């Protein structure tokens, strides 16, 4: 036999509150018995008992709802607590560091300051490739490029009374000379790497 | 989970119900600390309840039928006007007159100096003055000085009692864990009933054991003398405990009221009025049941004195058994449901209760008496937890003592005399019922208006900004 859904809900509710309902029924019975007493006594007593039953059941239902709400909150907190404990356990075991987790969570940012090159012979992703730095020149990396001696001598005159921090003038073709020198150095480096 | 203020009693109070640490960010206690704190709570409950026991022991002795007759003849000349009982009732009334002054003196002092010191003083004064009654010479020995000295001693008793109940209830309320304040507070009224039964029971036993002459000559002094050891025990326990944690925290935070009496009367007079309204019902019911009913049964219902005393003591013994479970129940369902049930109950059942008593049948009398007593115990179970929580910590002792004792003086001390006189005037034995119905109607209004404080930490209870109970206790709003 199939029980209609509404009837089933009511039966579940009765089962949930069967103790309180039992007390209410008992009080109603007592109230009915009290009506057997003389009217001046029986009716007020019966009315009080019925009021007590109604009020008590109302307090019980409100209290049950409050307890159910608090239990749901507690369950949610326990669930959240369990998830946090699991995360802490994983982190503490050193499987992945917190920073790595955060880094992996970040989106990869394409490097747009250099033209995109094609993938190298190993087939790796161009966007993940780091920028190759220029080969460092020989000598002291802290020193600047030195100008040719003859050009410096033209500029510096020891008898100049105004001489303080007079910079030598740069010849017009100096930039071209420098570029040629650099190209030569780069080609030499590439040749040595290939070999 | 929390509504209203920010603190969470679920977090602040240890799982096994240790004393209320109160406030947000409270530190969790170790198991040893919890056990030590519960021990402190138990000591505070004993210390508070024993004072109440002494107070009502004296009342039970003094108001016992045979004692009122003896006192009225030993301390007054034979040709004094009025009956012996009436003279004794006048002495009882004198003690009530002094109570509000005691409340105004000791209450603010307790808010300024601490609960512990004031309670040690009041119990010494109470038990000492009761003891002095037992050693006072009668009229036949020192003449007119006898009733005058007796009156002075009664005034001192009343004065000290004015500071006793407010302090005792405040101490328990401030020591008890938030979620068990009703449970622990009910022990105070258990002390009340126990003291009354001990006093009245002792007088009854002595009256049965001794001859009339022996009782009249020296037997009547014994119960008064026994109050001193009781008082000394209470003094010992009170000096062995620290002041309440709530008061200590307030003191450390520098939040004590500079002028507690002024602040009490200025800012909390409305709450005091509500307290007076509720205590009106308490006192009418309490003193009608305890003071008036024994003589009502004998004088108006023509019952045997011993039967009347046995019914009184029997009903109160049952009340003692149910008061603590009712206090615990109030922690679950709230204080107001019990108070509302009592107030409505007196409105509806007072007349039927006295109608049952008019039958003259001992069963009917006992049933009617039990109805009045059963409704009274609903109030007694929760007042020690309800009343202190109506006021903030800085004025709690004073405001409670002033309101409670003013109401007791006006309505408690006069209940027996007023009801007796009205019965004489109207010729109706239902006057006590009408008085109870009136008191129920008057008390119902403030009972509905006061906020529910079950589940509210005592530091926040009574504060105007935090009237919403918090946590999952009975007081949480749905």
* One-character DSSP codes across B446-478: HHHHSPP-TTS-TTTTT-TT--S--TTSTT---
User: Closest chain B residue to A73 measured between Cα atoms?
Assistant: B1
Question: Per-residue pLDDT for chain B (478 aa), expressed as one digit of tens each?
Answer: 333 343 443 334 344 444 444 444 444 555 555 655 788 899 889 889 988 898 888 888 887 777 777 887 888 877 655 566 667 667 777 888 899 999 999 998 999 888 988 999 999 998 899 999 999 998 888 888 888 899 899 999 899 989 999 999 999 999 999 999 999 999 999 998 889 888 888 888 888 898 888 888 888 899 999 888 888 888 888 888 888 888 888 888 887 777 778 888 888 899 999 999 999 999 999 888 877 777 788 777 788 877 887 888 888 889 999 999 999 999 999 999 999 999 999 999 999 999 998 887 888 888 999 999 999 999 999 999 999 999 998 889 999 999 999 999 998 888 877 888 888 888 888 999 999 999 999 999 999 999 999 989 988 888 765 444 434 444 444 3
Tell me which residue of B371, B376, B439 sits closest to B411, measured CA to CA: B439
Candidates A46, A63, A74, A81: best to mutate against B (most CBs of B within 10 A) is A63
Q: What is Dmax (Cα atoms) for chain B? A: 72
Are B119 and B164 spatial neighbours (Cβ–Cβ below 8 Å)? Answer: yes
Cβ distance B337 to A73 less than 8 Å, yes or no, reads no
Are B150 and B78 spatial neighbours (Cβ–Cβ below 8 Å)? Answer: no
User: Closest chain B residue to A59 measured between Cα atoms?
Assistant: B333
Q: Residue B378 corresponds to which tokens in the numbers above?
A: 């609903």
Cβ distance B352 to A65 less than 8 Å, yes or no, reads no
Tell me which residue of B94, B52, B48, B447 sits closest to B279, measured CA to CA: B447
Alpha-helix residue ranges (DSSP H) falling in B253-407: 260-267, 269-287, 293-299, 305-333, 336-358, 362-386, 396-407
* One-character DSSP codes across B81-120: SS-HHHHHHHHHHHHHHHHHHHHHHHHHHHHHH-HHHHHH
Rounded Cα distance between B278 and B442, Å, is 8
Q: What is the DSSP letter of A168?
A: P
Question: Per-residue pLDDT for chain A (195 aa), expressed as one digit of tens each?
Answer: 788 889 999 998 899 899 999 999 999 999 999 999 888 889 999 999 999 999 999 999 998 998 899 999 999 999 999 999 988 888 888 766 666 667 767 777 777 665 555 544 444 455 555 555 666 555 555 555 555 555 555 555 556 555 555 566 777 776 677 667 767 777 776 666 665
B259 φ, ψ to 5°?
Answer: -130, 85
Are B203 and B223 spatial neighbours (Cβ–Cβ below 8 Å)? Answer: yes
The C-alpha torsion from A146 through A149 and A152 to A153, rounded to 10°, is 160
Rounded Cα distance between B175 and B165, Å, is 15
* In CATH, B31-449 is 1.10.10.60: no
SS3 call for A108: coil
Cβ distance B355 to A55 less than 8 Å, yes or no, reads no
> A67: which chain B residues are within 8 Å (Cβ-Cβ)?
472
Rounded Cα distance between B385 and B186, Å, is 8
Q: Determine the number of helices (DSSP H) and then strands (DSSP E) in chain A.
A: 6, 0
Candidates B329, B330, B472: best to mutate against A (most CBs of A within 10 A) is B472
Alpha-helix residue ranges (DSSP H) falling in B84-226: 84-113, 115-135, 139-142, 145-175, 181-209, 212-214, 221-225
Rounded Cα distance between B64 and B427, Å, is 25
A157 φ, ψ to 5°?
Answer: -120, 115
List the domain range (segments joined by +) for residue A16.
5-78
Are B449 and B467 spatial neighbours (Cβ–Cβ below 8 Å)? Answer: no
Q: Residue B395 corresponds to which tokens in the numbers above?
A: 């004025």
> A70: which chain B residues are within 8 Å (Cβ-Cβ)?
1, 472
Cβ distance A48 to B333 less than 8 Å, yes or no, reads no
> A45: which chain B residues are within 8 Å (Cβ-Cβ)?
349, 352
Cβ distance A40 to B351 less than 8 Å, yes or no, reads yes
Q: Could you say which of B333, B351, B355 has the minimum Cβ distance to residue A59?
A: B333
Q: What is the DSSP letter of A95?
A: S
- What residues have CB less than 8 Å from B376, skipping those under 6 apart? B282, B285, B286, B289, B319, B342
- What residues have CB less than 8 Å from A126, skipping those under 6 apart? A116, A117, A118, A119
> B454: which chain A residues are within 8 Å (Cβ-Cβ)?
none
Residue A81 near chain B (CB below 8 Å): no
What is the distance in angstroms between the Cα of B122 and the nearest Cα belonging to chain A? 40
Rounded Cα distance between B321 and B343, Å, is 21
Are B204 and B96 spatial neighbours (Cβ–Cβ below 8 Å)? Answer: no
Cβ distance A63 to B333 less than 8 Å, yes or no, reads yes
Candidates B11, B339, B342, B348: best to mutate against A (most CBs of A within 10 A) is B348
Q: Could you say which of A44, A59, A70 has the minimum Cβ distance to residue B472?
A: A70
Q: Residue A120 corresponds to which tokens in the numbers above?
A: 């190298």
Cβ distance A45 to B352 less than 8 Å, yes or no, reads yes
Q: Which pLDDT value is given to residue B7? A: 40
Rounded Cα distance between B468 and B453, Å, is 8
When divided into structural domains, chain A yields a total of: 1
Phi-psi bin for B143: left (phi > 0), alpha (psi -120 to 50), beta?
A: left
CB-defined contacts A:B, below 8 A? 40
Q: Find where tokens 């909390």 sit.
A: B268
ipTM: 0.76
Q: Which pLDDT value is given to residue A192? A: 67
Name residues 38-57 of chain A within 8 A of B (Cβ): 38, 40-41, 44-45, 47-48, 51-52, 55
What is the distance in angstroms between the Cα of B333 and the nearest Cα belonging to chain A? 7
Residue A70 near chain B (CB below 8 Å): yes
Cβ distance B348 to A47 less than 8 Å, yes or no, reads yes
Q: Which pLDDT value is given to residue B4? A: 37
Tell me which residue of B280, B293, B323 sits closest to B416, measured CA to CA: B293
User: Closest chain B residue to A56 measured between Cα atoms?
Assistant: B337
What is the distance in angstroms between the Cα of B9 and the nearest Cα belonging to chain A? 13
Tell me which residue of B74, B59, B97, B90 sits closest to B146, measured CA to CA: B74
> B344: which chain A residues are within 8 Å (Cβ-Cβ)?
48, 51
Are B54 and B39 spatial neighbours (Cβ–Cβ below 8 Å)? Answer: no
Q: Which pLDDT value is given to residue B443? A: 96
Rounded Cα distance between A172 and B154, Å, is 122
Question: Does residue A159 form part of some domain?
Answer: no
């Amino acid at each position: 036999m199939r029980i209609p859904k509404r009837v089933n809900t009511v039966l579940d509710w009765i089962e949930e509150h069967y103790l309180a309902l039992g007390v209410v029924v008992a009080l109603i019975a007592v109230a009915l018995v009290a009506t057997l007493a003389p009217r001046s006594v029986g009716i007020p007593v019966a009315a009080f008992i019925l009021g007590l039953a109604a009020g008590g059941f109302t307090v019980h239902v409100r209290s049950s709802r409050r307890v159910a709400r608090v239990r749901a909150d507690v369950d949610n907190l326990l669930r959240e607590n369990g998830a946090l404990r699991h995360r802490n356990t994983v982190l503490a075991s050193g499987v992945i560091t917190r920073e790595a987790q955060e880094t992996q969570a970040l989106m990869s940012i394409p490097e747009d300051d250099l033209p995109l090159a094609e993938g190298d012979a190993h087939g790796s992703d161009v966007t993940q490739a780091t920028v190759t730095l220029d080969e460092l020149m020989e000598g002291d990396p802290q020193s600047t490029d030195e100008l040719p001696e003859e050009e410096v001598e033209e500029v510096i005159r020891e008898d100049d009374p105004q001489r303080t921090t007079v910079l030598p003038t740069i010849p017009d073709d100096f930039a071209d000379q420098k570029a040629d020198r650099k190209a030569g150095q780069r080609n030499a480096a590439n040749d040595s790497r290939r070999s | 989970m929390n509504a209203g203020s920010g603190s969470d009693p679920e977090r602040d109070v240890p799982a096994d119900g240790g004393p209320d640490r109160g406030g947000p960010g409270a530190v969790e206690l170790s198991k040893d600390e919890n056990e030590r704190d519960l021990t402190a709570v138990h000591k505070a409950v004993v210390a508070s309840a024993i004072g109440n026991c002494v107070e009502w022991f004296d009342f039970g002795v003094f108001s016992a039928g045979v004692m009122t007759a003896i006192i009225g003849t030993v301390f007054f000349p034979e040709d004094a006007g009025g009956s012996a009982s009436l003279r004794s009732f006048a002495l009882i009334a004198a003690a009530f007159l002094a109570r509000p002054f005691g409340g105004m003196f000791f209450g603010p002092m307790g808010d300024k100096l601490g609960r512990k010191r004031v309670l040690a003083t009041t119990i010494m004064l109470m038990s000492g003055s009761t003891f002095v009654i037992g050693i006072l010479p009668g009229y036949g020995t020192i003449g007119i000085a006898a009733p005058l000295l007796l009156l002075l001693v009664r005034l001192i008793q009343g004065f000290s009692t004015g500071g006793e109940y407010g302090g005792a209830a405040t101490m328990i309320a401030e020591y008890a864990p938030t979620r068990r304040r009703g449970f622990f507070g009910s022990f105070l009224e258990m002390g009340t009933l126990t003291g009354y039964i001990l006093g009245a029971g002792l007088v009854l036993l002595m009256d049965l054991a001794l001859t009339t002459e022996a009782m009249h000559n020296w037997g009547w002094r014994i119960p008064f003398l026994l109050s001193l050891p009781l008082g000394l025990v209470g003094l010992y326990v009170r000096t062995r405990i620290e002041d309440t944690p709530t008061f200590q925290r307030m003191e450390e935070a520098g939040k004590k009221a500079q002028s507690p009496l002024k602040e009490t009367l200025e800012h909390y007079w409305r709450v005091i009025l509500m307290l007076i309204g509720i205590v009106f019902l308490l006192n009418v019911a309490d003193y009608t049941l305890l003071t008036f009913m024994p003589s009502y049964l004998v004088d108006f219902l023509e019952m045997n004195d011993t039967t009347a005393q046995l019914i009184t003591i029997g009903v109160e013994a049952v009340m003692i058994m149910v008061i603590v479970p009712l206090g615990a129940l109030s922690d679950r369902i709230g204080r107001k449901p019990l108070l509302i049930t009592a107030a409505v109950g007196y409105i509806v059942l007072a007349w039927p209760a006295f109608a049952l008593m008019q039958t003259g049948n001992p069963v009917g009398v006992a049933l009617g008496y039990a109805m009045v007593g059963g409704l009274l115990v609903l109030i007694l179970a929760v007042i020690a937890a309800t009343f202190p929580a109506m006021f903030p910590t800085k004025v709690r002792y004073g405001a409670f003592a002033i309101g409670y004792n003013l109401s007791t003086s006006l309505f408690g001390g006069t209940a027996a005399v007023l009801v007796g006189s009205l019965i004489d005037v109207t010729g109706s034995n239902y006057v006590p019922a009408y008085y109870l119905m009136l008191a129920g109607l008057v008390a119902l209004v403030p009972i509905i208006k006061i906020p529910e404080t079950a589940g509210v930490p005592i530091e926040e209870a009574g504060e105007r900004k935090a009237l919403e109970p918090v946590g999952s206790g009975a007081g949480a709003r749905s």
